[in-house]
Amino acid sequence: MPLSALAMLAGGLTAGKGITASIIGNNAKQQAYKKQKSAAKQAANLANQQISKNYALTLENYNANVQATEQQWSALIDQSLADAKFLDEYAGDVFVQRQQRLNELFAQEAFRQQDQMVRYMQSSGIAAASGQTGVTAGRGAVQNAAQLGRNQAIAARELIGAVDAFDMQSQIDNKRFAYEKYKIGQRAAILPSLGKVPDLPTFQQPAAVTAPKNTLAMDITSSLIDGVVTAVSVNPAKTGFKPPSFKPATGNMYTPLAEQTGFGYDSAIPAPSFGSGSFSFGGS
């Protein structure tokens, strides 16, 4: 079914209008999509910047706590070492002092035994000088020797007891000092608690933005179909519409376009007349 020029023009306008609207609408959707995507990315960047700042502050606080804890623990170690050194020096001083007293005791006993020996010898010499002989002299010598032996035995027992007491006191002191040193070591043996290292932050991803469906081809196709439908719907062969016939222009005016299209016009202005003189339009 042939289409007239009017039908083709109407269809073309309809199709062109639809295509133009489709292109404009598609561009608008793409621009809106780009804006939403850019806004989502910018929002994620701002959020991640804040997350980074918060994590940096958390690390700074953690490092400050670690440094403070290390300083406290170092001070505790230094104090423990100082306490242990003082305890060793004190234990040594106590031992030396007790050893000196024991040495003095031995020295005193040595002087006493020397004195007893001198007395024994003096008593023996006095007996001999007095002219004692025989049984009497022997009895005196035995008594003097026995007294000397008893004194020496008593002195030996006293010295042995002093040495045993010294050794026992040394064991007691060693246990006490060892326990005190153990307590000092226990104070320093407790490792400081530095806490857990902050976990790495989870950064925010840009919010998902759904891309618009590309329906430009379908919209253009639909617009073309609408144009065809419009052209067919206004086609004279289908609608039975026939434009009114007009006479060709009257007078000497010849209009080829009016003859071709069937459209002419009647002019109220008479056609000019050509003579030997001038020509005129209209009345006298």
Please write the tens of the pLDDT for every residue from 63-85: 999 888 888 888 889 999 999 99
127/86 Cα distance (integer angstroms): 61
Global pTM reads 0.47
Characterize 158-194 residue by residue with b for buried, 16 or more Cβ atoms within 10 angstroms of its Cβ, and e for exposed: eeeeeeeebeeeeeeeeeebeeebeebeeebeeeeee
pLDDT at 95: 92
**Digit-coded pLDDT (tens) for 145-183:** 677 677 778 888 888 888 999 999 999 999 999 999 999
Domain ranges of the chain: 82-189
- How far is Cα 88 from Cα 94, in angstroms, rounded to an integer? 10
Residue with tokens 């069937």: 262
- Beta carbons within 10 angstroms of residue 234's beta carbon: 19
Q: Which residue has the tokens 């050794």?
A: 167
Give 256's pLDDT tier (boundaries 50, 70, 90). very low
| Percent above pLDDT 90 for the chain | 23
